Amino acid sequence: MRLTSLVVRPASAGERHCYGAAMLIGAHVRAGKGLVPALQHGADIGADAVQIFTQSPRMWKPSQYSDEVLAGYRAAQAEHPSVVATFCHATYLINLASPDPELAAKSQACLTANLSTADGMGSDGLVLHIGSHRGSGFETALPAVAQALVTALDEVDADIESCPILLENAAGAGDTVGRSFEELAQVIDAAGGDERLGVCLDTQHLWASGIPFGTVEEADALIELIERTVGMARLRCMHLNDSKVDFGANKDRHENIGDGTIGADGLAALLGHPALQGIPAILEVPGEGDGPRTEDVTTARGVLEAGLALRA
């Protein structure tokens, strides 16, 4: 349900897990056999949170995990001394907006499988790229997208405290759905304002879709935009990425923090915004080709400190 007030309010305990006042800096890492190694991979690079794929990102066949493996991950996460949150990312093949009935049904089933694993792990959210309507039009695709989301949530668990689906803003290429927060709000509204739906904000996708945030004023305007569309209470995590492409290029191309066209200074004003403190910011940067490194986590913390200083 969309909010009309521009007053940013904190989420209640039922709307978002409480991580404390400080922003967590996380990283996308390899899951490893049995899932639990993901926590060590995160700890090894100094991350406060991790994100993993629940299956191969470019294969339809879901990974099968026993109840014992899922329970083992929940227990390991609860007891871990430094990695305090886990997010999952759904496979890239899912396209809930597809006009092809067979692909749409396959996508909905795959989403359900991914969500089932994420929920069994006790994940804080399953991040999802909604997909592309392939020219059929956003309004045409909207009812099927909303129904697929609700169906997946209902098939896994009807409890609002279970793992939410987090809709990620798109970079704007082709006929992608969710290229603006207005579109994401329409998807949520079409799903009846379901409380089990949240949002993941990707900084590179924002930049590529032509939404500025590099100054304090622009960052403030972005937060107001989020509040009056999807509502800040639905923002559960961020993807913290620099960009290989220019502003407004409509391409999904991540770069290491400080090495891209956004730059460290361009990210600082947003990361330092008071409304984003306590929200996990997850690195999906290439590193040296194998994902985020210790130095990437350290750089991100430096950008956060610079952003907080802008508000001091």
262 and 214 Cβ atoms separated by less than 8 Å:
yes
CATH, domain range 25-310: 3.20.20.150
> CA of 223: how far to CAs of 199, 216, 230, 233, in Å?
13, 11, 11, 11
Task: Please name the helix (run of DSSP H) or strand (run of DSSP E) that holds residue 217, with its range, or none.
Answer: helix 216-228
| φ and ψ of 200, to 5 deg | -115, 125
- pTM (2 decimals)? 0.93
The set of residues, in sequence order, having a beta carbon less than 8 Å from that of 6 and lying 6+ positions away, is: 224, 227, 228
pLDDT in tens, 148-192: 999 999 999 766 678 999 999 999 887 999 999 999 999 999 999
| Choice among 16-20, 50-54, 66-70, 306-310 with the minimum mean pLDDT | 16-20
Over pLDDT 70: what percentage of the chain? 93
Q: Which residue intervals of 162-214 are DSSP H helices?
A: 181-190, 203-208
DSSP annotation of 39 reads H
How do the domains of the chain map onto residue ranges? Answer: 25-310
Going by their DSSP bridges, the two strands 281-283 and 254-255 should be labelled as unpaired
